[in-house]
Structure 1
């Protein structure tokens, strides 16, 4: 029997976690040749999400729960849960039901064919057209500036072989850009297109800051182009400024009594160059911030509580005892 791990990060998802659990259970219970575990990692929810998860875990030993000591963000928490998964195949699936559970069978079918990575690609979405267009522009942009080819329109939803998870455990990245890491590792992947459904219950936890954070993380982790662009643009603008200065000097010498330089070009030029400098200082700051995060080497999360992982510990201890007896 192969073990399938479903990993679901959640934060304030009391309206969705039980429905997701029921859908996943119905699908996984009918899979032939598989047992499964459903790992929920809660980022210190302020609603009844943890209570619901505990109730589910007490009723069903297939449900495992990790409760974080605080909210560690939408990047670190899901990644930590993935590293805890012991399944032969691991599926990352969000709690808001925008990652369709019925795709589990499709993922497993391609995994059985030999693919180590099977990704869900949302080629269409029922969310806001504006947001989908902005996301699409970002994916196109980051693919152009990235040093490796990244998968467009993938949020991490997909299946990952345990061999991939083992590689991720060796990476030791305290603030990982998961989607980029999967592309960087280089395992051949299969992409399955799907239409992302709209959120039916609750409100999204993403805001401008979280979206900006992950966008900049992708750029700083996979491209040096913004830094090099700053150097090239600085050189080009200095050359242009020098040329404009020569033209002004010649114009003044030739038309001394008629040509007035005025203060407007000076003010416009000053504000323009200042804004360009501030922009690229901000870009450099993003890279420095990324380095700072890496240097701190803080843990991905600090766990407050674990539920239903005891069986796993007992099982590993029994295996060790068997090995000792055999020796």
Structure 2
């Protein structure tokens, strides 16, 4: 369908990837290919209302380099909307910067913003966090997210968990520092309990029984706390591993209605000068 539309209208440009690279990398790569004065990002299931494009452009013409659509309510599952709202509240509390709540990336971005994103060179970006980190003042337009009309979302618990942890590891060191503080507090607490038990046994040798219940409960408590924070550390290590690999956002299979097709699709860096666009592998 896209190929048919592109044949009729040369202004329609299509990039087909070699496979589905996911909802984090693919849209980000596509946005970096935009060469207009501004670009608008919205998802294909139309839960981001296209009618808002007019509102975005009006605010952009007033001087805002970033105009975002923010969900005030949603016709999706009330439970999922509530969980997402709790997540945004949590990440804003632990983040080093203030992130926009209830925004999925839907909005308008000036060419200046996109140029900055090209220079960041993040292989697995948390897009919403990057937009907040850039620091440009944004205008937020609230809307009610409609329910999905067709198709079934490819998102599942793992993909949602992945992007949630990506936001935390990219914009907060609090979980790591919390692990150190909790470890110190629990060590001190354990030492105090041990001293109390020792004194109680000395004073009431014949009547005080240590018992196995405190030992078993303490063992399970400390083991679970250790596993939890080992998992947190693992998330940060995984994030570092992803950055070190420096894999491309996507591998392209086909471009339609672009003036030039890059020779090396697996690692292209678009560059511009005043007269033309060229690619360096």
* TM-score, length of structure 2 as denominator length: 0.92
In structure 2, the residue matched to 1:154 is 103
How far did residue 99 of structure 1 move? 0.3
Q: Distance in 1 between matches of 2:238 and 2:2?
A: 35
In structure 1, the residue matched to 2:75 is 126
1:113-262 aligned within 5 A? 113-262=62-211
Q: Distance in 1 between matches of 2:261 and 2:231?
A: 46
User: Cα–Cα, structure 1 residues 95 and 279, in superposed 2: closer, same or farther, change >3 Å?
Assistant: same
2:22 is the alignment partner of 1:70: no
| Deviation digits for residues 84-131 of structure 1 (CA, Å, limit 9, x no counterpart) | 001101100100000000000100000000000000000100000000
- Which of 246, 271, 279 is 1:297 aligned to? 246
| Deviation digits for residues 234-253 of structure 1 (CA, Å, limit 9, x no counterpart) | 00000000011011111111
Q: Distance in 2 between matches of 1:179 and 1:217?
A: 11
Where do 4+ consecutive residues of structure 1 move more than 4 Å? Answer: none
Say whether the 8 Å CA contact 2:255–2:261 is kept in structure 1: no
How far did residue 61 of structure 1 move? 1.9
Q: Distance in 2 between matches of 1:312 and 1:63?
A: 16
Query: What SS is found at the alignment partner of 1:133?
Result: helix
Higher relative contact order (CA 8 A, sep 6+): 2
Q: Distance in 2 between matches of 1:311 and 1:167?
A: 23
Query: What SS is found at the alignment partner of 1:63?
Result: coil
How far did residue 311 of structure 1 move? 7.8
Q: Distance in 2 between matches of 1:199 and 1:62?
A: 28
In structure 2, the residue matched to 1:58 is 7
Q: Which stretches in structure 1 are left out of the alignment for 5+ residues?
A: 1-51, 321-327
2:240 is the alignment partner of 1:287: no
How far did residue 298 of structure 1 move? 1.0
In structure 2, the residue matched to 1:42 is none
Q: Distance in 2 between matches of 1:209 and 1:87?
A: 35
Q: Which stretches in structure 2 are left out of the alignment for 5+ residues?
A: 263-271, 277-281
Q: Distance in 1 between matches of 2:126 and 2:151?
A: 26
How far did residue 59 of structure 1 move? 2.2
How far did residue 279 of structure 1 move? 0.4
| Deviation digits for residues 134-188 of structure 1 (CA, Å, limit 9, x no counterpart) | 0000000000000000000000000000000000000010000000000000001
Q: Distance in 2 between matches of 1:87 and 1:195?
A: 28
Q: Distance in 1 between matches of 2:260 and 2:53?
A: 25
Q: Distance in 2 between matches of 1:57 and 1:275?
A: 56
In structure 2, the residue matched to 1:276 is 225
